[in-house]
Structure 1
Amino acid sequence: MRVAGVLAGVVPLVLGLLATPSLADTPGSEHPEDPGAGVVSAQAVAREVIKSKNIKHTAHLPKQAPFDNIESVGTDIAFKGRHAFVGNYGGFVVYDIAKPDKPQIVTQVACPGGQGDVSISGNLLFVSTDYPRSNNTCQSEATTAADPNGWEGMKVFDVSDPAKPRYVSSIATACGSHTHTLVPDKAGKAVYLYVSSYAPKPEFPNCQPPHDKISIIKVPLDNPAEPVLLDAPVVFPDGGNPGQPGGIRETSGCHDITVFPSKDLAAGACMGDGVLFDISDREKPRVVNQVRDDQNFAFWHSATFNNEGTKVVFTDELGGGSAATCDAPTGPKRGANGIYDIVGSGAESKLEFRSYYKIPRHQAATENCVAHNGSLIPVPGKDIMVQAWYQGGVSVWEFTDSAQPKEIAFFDRTPFDPGKLQTAGSWSAYYYNGRVFSSGIQEGLDVLDIKDRRTDPAKRVRFEEFNPQTQPVYAD
């Protein structure tokens, strides 16, 4: 169903304070705590940087007004040429990274709606809205999931002039859009958006249980003002993982999907289940294998393929991203990555578990820390990944041997607030054209340069466009 409505213009440079909801305002948020309780500044204390010798911290650009507050949470990143587009709970920020060690803010767009997951195709930027709003404009007000007129879903912006993003269209999806994944069509005439959302309740008219599905949107590239909701296929017709009290989260949708278009594969991290899809028909993704880890995984959060499409790294977001789980009591297997080999082919493909990887440094009790968003570092013949761990910082690790992963570099900071647990740290850390870019929840943008013989070959690999959840293939 396509949403019709007035699409208000966007003010490119925001000058006023944003009235954004806290992370606790929306049922279904993976962050159960209010990150802004009693704090108004995003710069809580001076923090020491701790890092391995083979990483150079080349740039730090803190959040700028009006996003320089606790509630304006920095989220995911999409890259196009010399620009990085960084999502925010209050909208998004466009950075010029032509000189990656001297990034500059091009513009900031106020369009509150929570999550702010982003992807880009050509001149089109797609942005997720996951908090119910009074309407589909950037001037909307917060409402509740019980409001039958509340709006959530996808927004489309034209960023042909990155300094002046233009709001083009929108489309509603059931339970909103917590994340989305861009899937190119094989003819190059459209893109599909696989929208993931979850946490339905009977009292939510636009988010009804069981919600064991994803939403599929088609956006014609020659007419982005007319996106179409094609289908909402049920991923778990027999029901997903029923969950365990105090343990694994019940499956009621997917959290995130990563696609590997060159092999017509996708990996779904679906709360209580890990899923392998065949996406040879982009409009009809088909489940070919489903796995669970009821002993150690609490929340299947995201996925990353290796360059050959023969492995998947799934993340477990134990504690929803707001808990301190990188400690001795939690141990090395919970809140970690699960490394799976893909064996067989086609309809016979199966995910087989090989090992866990978790950062080897214990964090303080006031530091939220768990496996989060990352991407491959394009080293031919090797499986090396850079990954965000919230206040656990950024980890560079190798899984060429699936059974024996190992860290090779790291970047970390001391606690955001030594006196209490406060949601902060690196939300997303991705390798793009020779540098690691980290989007901090409270920290803004960090740029890292890895100087290591094991990763140096990646500096020769260049992409014009990079959506981490739409994995490209780099040549060996």
Structure 2
Amino acid sequence: MGTKVRGAVAAAGALVAVALCAPGSATAHPCASANAKAAANNSFLSLNNTSWVGIHRPELDHECGGEGGAVTSTLAKARAAGVTIADDPTLEQVAAEFERSSNMTPVGFSANVIPYLPNPYNSDLAFQGDYAYMGTNDGFVVIDIKDPAKPKQVHLNKSCTTSQGDVVVYGNILVRSWDSATNANGAATQSCGGTLVGLGFEGIHIFDITDPANPVMVDVGNNPADGKQGLRFSVNDVPRKGCGSHTATAVPSPANDALYIYNGGSNSNCTWMDVLKIKISDPTQAAYVKQAPAGRQCHDNTVFLNGAESRATCAGGNGITMFKFDATIDPTLPGGIENPVQLWSKQMAGLTGGGHSAAFSYDGKTVVWGHEPGGGVAPNCQTNSDIRFKSLYILNVETGDQISTVPMTRAQDSTENCTWHNFNTVPTKGGNYLVSGNYQAGINVVDFTQPAAPKIIAYADPKPLPKTTTYGGDGYPDGGDWSTYWYNGKIYEADIYRGLVVWDLDNPFTDRANTVSYSNPQTQIGAITADNVAPTATSTQTGPIVLGSTVAPAFTCADEGLGVESCTANVTSLDTSSIGPKSYTVTAVDKAGNEAVTTIAYVVNATAATGTPGGTVPATLALTLGTPASFGAFTPGVDGEYTATTDATVISTAGDAALAVADTGANAGHLVNGAFVLPQPLQGLGVVKTWSGPTSNEKVTVTFKQAVSKTDALRTGSYGKTLTFTLSTTNP
């Protein structure tokens, strides 16, 4: 979002007419009028001007696609006229134009510098999913950023013939701003979406971006005879509702099937913030709701959507107005989205105008305010420039009290237009970070985690644009970085002439930023409490540490916030080479990016010597039997099973051992009474127990069983048998 760049003045050298065509309807196709205007006014970027990096070679046959029918490409017309058009610059060529800090790396580039109008420039950005939407003064561009290193232009919409064209995206809806009332001369040619906008029109146009590669304008007028119309609220209307749309800020309320827009007219005739409403399920149902008095013109509005504690700013004129609203209640109620309540209004000391932009810290405690004295076309960042004109201001959200300022640290020369322009804050728990686009001062990244002591931690500053004979006035173009925003791990820069440049910032705190499904940079959704407390590391070493021993470091890390991400020591073994105090370091990093390096002290406090006391054990296998087993009395003529036990005490020093019982006498396995033998065998013979190592004085129970049948003939007397108990080993 921002103020228009200085208009070009007719100069020497005529621009070749490009892509002149008209559809079958009575209204000339917008491409035709746009290109005719370019030819008639000698655009400051002629098709054959290759004096500086950034000239774009049009390649798309659908440059005006999506509305009004097929057109002949600029490239084809230029070739027919014998004009040589420069190739797009490479990423390497663009990167060479920047002086940058070591933590900033250009990773991708999508060129969009096409000389259609006297002021062909790229403006603001919005993001959704894998796409970036870049506003232009004659439409908008859709860029596939799924791979940030290879951004690819998938749609170039040039169906709107004027205005800076700020964009907002939400779901299938794209909103484009139109901020200048169409005059009588322009009424015959000024159009959007293939339809004349009409005398005095200013407001917004809505496009359906269900297919990002083929946006289609939505008819808000709902009168087929009028063609596709936008939502009008013009400074010329009686009664006046608004002053058109210089900037638009999304306030989504999906529970109410509504996309609200807090609109900035950036006109002293309208000292309020416009509230618009678009039905999400049917964008043709769009309406101007009301005015929210701000006591100043609203250039940009920024929203901090945080449930019942939501906030909105109106930045413009000589200061900033803060609103509060509750996004959880009926939007039509006092204090709801449609009726924000003014919390405070602040005139910035010593400043009379130029109020421009604002952004909240994600903890909701501070707001950053910026202004563009001179409308963005003045060289306000020179060494001798007024410090107020090249500073950001950090304020308390609840009171408006000033906390600190952030001056532009790199001086620009007298030919470079410069001011803090468009910026957003990074959604990370690692602190508060702001990414800003600053015209010819390029990109700044500000750490304002400590709001009283903010500091610039990264930058990318382009070389001054060279003088050109096709630019009016002093010959030096006003250009540079219109807007720069953080989105899902990368920094995206809309360069007024070059196109979209993608940057990578090496910073542990921003590297851990939240990933979002969409981003309208002037709409911040949800509070994030910063985690600025570093993790801790402590020793868990126990016992004495012996001289010359191998000991691994023992430690643990803890974090009170999001938890520990990594916990590593700088050694794998402690230094035990000498007696005395030692130390090593542990680096702990938490999930917010906070890092702590802790020195862990330990003491080598013991020494060791080896001795060989010992003794010998003679090979021993000892077996002692207890009381002999007795079955008692057998009862003749009755079936029965009788049990008898004894015990064996075992001592063995062998590697293995086995205790077994055997009957080696006559009638083996049967009890005998003289010459009489029990028919049923004695049970319990064989291996009783085994050992796989030594045992000492272990008492083993040995159990025998004897079955007697009722038909067994039993002889009076005692039955018995001498058995052999054996303790043996295979490994003495």
Q: TM (normalized to structure 1)? A: 0.81
For the residues of structure 2 that align with 1:142 and 1:219, how far apart are their CA atoms?
A: 19
Q: Secondary structure at the match of 1:333?
A: helix
Equivalent in 278, 282, 285 of residue 226 of structure 1: 285
What is the one-letter code of the residue matched to 1:57?
P
Q: How many residues align?
A: 416
What is the identity, as a one-letter code, of the residue corresponding to 1:270? G
Residue 18 (1) aligns with residue 62 (2): no
- Per the alignment, residue 469 of structure 1 pairs with 522
Q: 1:142 & 1:73 partners in 2: Cα distance? A: 21
User: Which is further off, 219-228 or 465-474?
Assistant: 465-474
**Which of the residues 23, 46, 52 maps onto 1:45?**
52
CA distance in 1, matches of 2:211, 2:388: 45
2:124 alignment partner, SS class: strand
Which one of the candidate residues 193, 196, 199 is aligned to 2:261? 193
Pair 1:66–1:366, CA change in 2 (3 A): closer
2:150 counterpart of 1:150:
no
Q: CA deviation at 1:188?
A: 4.3
Call closer, same or farther: CA 1:20–1:394 in 2, change over 3 Å.
farther
Name whichever of 37-46 and 384-393 sits farther off. Answer: 37-46
Q: 1:21 to 1:384 in 2, by over 3 A?
A: farther
Query: Higher RCO, 1 or 2 (CA under 8 Å, sep at least 6)?
Result: 1
Supply the AA of the counterpart residue of 2:303.
V
Structure-1 residue corresponding to 2:140: 92
Q: Take 1:15 and 1:176, find their aligned partners in 2: how far apart are those partners? A: 23
What is aligned with 1:405? 454
CA distance in 1: counterparts of 2:271 and 2:291, whole angstroms: 9
Q: Give me the identity figure in percent.
A: 30
| 1:235-250 alignment runs, 5 A limit | 235-236=294-295
Counterpart mapping for 1:3-82 below 5 A: 18-19=34-35, 38-40=44-46, 44-46=51-53, 48-65=97-114, 71-82=119-130
Q: 1:186 and 1:99 mapped to 2: Cα distance? A: 29
Q: Which amino acid aligns with 2:52?
A: V
Q: Which of 243, 248, 258 matches 1:180?
A: 248
Q: Secondary structure at the match of 2:388?
A: coil
Q: How does 1:325-336 map to 2 (within 5 A)?
A: 325-336=380-391
Q: Distance in 2 between matches of 1:152 and 1:73?
A: 20
For 1:368-405, what per-residue CA distance to the aligned partner results, in whole angstroms no more than 9, with x for missing partners?
A: 01001111123314111110000000011111111211
Quickly say closer, same or farther: Cα 1:371–1:164, change in 2 above 3 A: same
Deviation at 1:230, TM superposition (A): 1.2
Structure 1 residues 233 and 391: CA distance shift in structure 2, 3 A: same
Structure 1 residue 297, shift from structure 2 partner: 6.2
Q: For 1:390 and 1:43, how far apart are their aligned partners in 2?
A: 21
Runs of at least 5 residues in structure 2 that lack an aligned partner in the other structure: 1-23, 54-95, 221-229, 234-241, 327-335, 469-474, 530-732
CA distance in 2 between counterparts of 1:407 and 1:64 reads: 30
CA distance in 1, matches of 2:448, 2:127: 25
**How far did residue 166 of structure 1 move?**
0.7
Deviation by residue 1:267-313 (Cα, 9 ceiling, x = unmatched) = 11021221110122111122110111131463110110000111000
Tell me, in whole angstroms, the C-alpha distance in 2 between the residues paired with 1:269 and 1:43: 38
Whether contact under 8 Å (1:297, 1:316) holds in the other structure is no
Q: Which residue of 1 aligns with 2:417?
A: 368
Q: CA deviation at 1:115?
A: 1.5
5 Å-filtered alignment, 1:96-115, equals 96-110=144-158, 111-115=160-164
Is there any run of 5+ residues in structure 1 with no aligned partner, and where? 1-7, 23-33, 144-148, 201-208, 237-250, 343-348
Question: 1:198: how far off?
Answer: 3.2
Question: Per-residue deviation at 1:335?
Answer: 3.1
Moved more, 175-184 or 295-304: 295-304
CA distance in 2, matches of 1:300, 1:465: 27
Equivalent in the alignment of 2:325: 279
The Cα shift of 1:474 comes to: 6.6
Say if 1:297 and 1:335, in contact at 8 Å, map to a contact too.
no
Contact residue 44 and residue 118 of structure 2 kept, 8 A: no
Q: 1:216 aligns with which of 275, 283, 286?
A: 275
- For residues 292 and 457 of structure 1, do their structure 2 counterparts lie closer, same or farther at Cα, with a shift above 3 Å needed? same
The match for 1:434 is 489
Alignment of 1:385-404 (within 5 A): 385-404=434-453
Cα distance in 1, alignment partners of residues 428 and 50 from structure 2: 35
Match of 1:225, SS state, is: coil
Question: In terms of Rg, which structure is larger?
Answer: 2
Which one of 208, 215, 231 corresponds to residue 171 of structure 1? 231
Please say which of residues 116-125 and 372-381 is displaced more in the overlay. Answer: 372-381
1:30 aligned partner:
none
